[in-house]
Amino acid sequence: MALSTRPGDDHLDENLAIWNAATTLKQEDYFNQYLDGSQSPNDFEHEPELGHLLTKLYERQRQDAYELLDRAIGRIHPDGEEAAAHIIHKKEFREDFHKECELFAKERDRYIREYQDAKAIRAEMNQASQQEALDIDKSQERGI
């Protein structure tokens, strides 16, 4: 995958032929915080059940991120392209990936919110069930 370069292109701060996680995916804070494979410090505060759900979410999001990178790499012309076109392509990828990370963050927030809502509903249902059982016991004691 040779890239054609013009005189003066050697000043670029990165090797344009390298498309890997370090030069692409790890440019996003969300990826570094949640998808890099280590547990985020933010997740230590969650209950184990929610932590397990988030781990599964991160695995899927990580897979989605790498698939997006694979699609971007697949768009690179094997016979080379101008450095300027390559820079534009990489910039477009980063913009797309940034948007994807914003969606990942919203999805993570939704998972947490829905888990907490479901937990509150379960607690209410348990409380109502316990109250109903107490009411039945009291009515039986009174002979009603």
Domain boundaries, the chain: 16-141
Distances (CA, A) of 103 to 30, 32, 137: 10, 15, 50
Look at the pTM and tell me if it is higher than 0.85.
no
Phi and psi based region of residue 76 (left: phi greater than 0; alpha: psi -120 to 50; beta: remaining) = beta
List the alpha helices (DSSP H) in 6-82.
29-30, 48-74
Round to whole Å and give the CA distance between 116 and 129.
20
Give the bridge partners for 4, in sequence order: 82
- pLDDT for residue 10: 42
pLDDT value for 29: 94
DSSP E strands, the chain = none
**For position 62, what pLDDT does the model report?**
96
Confidence (pLDDT) at 79: 64
pLDDT lower than 50: segments of the chain: 1-16
Residue 43: the pLDDT is 82
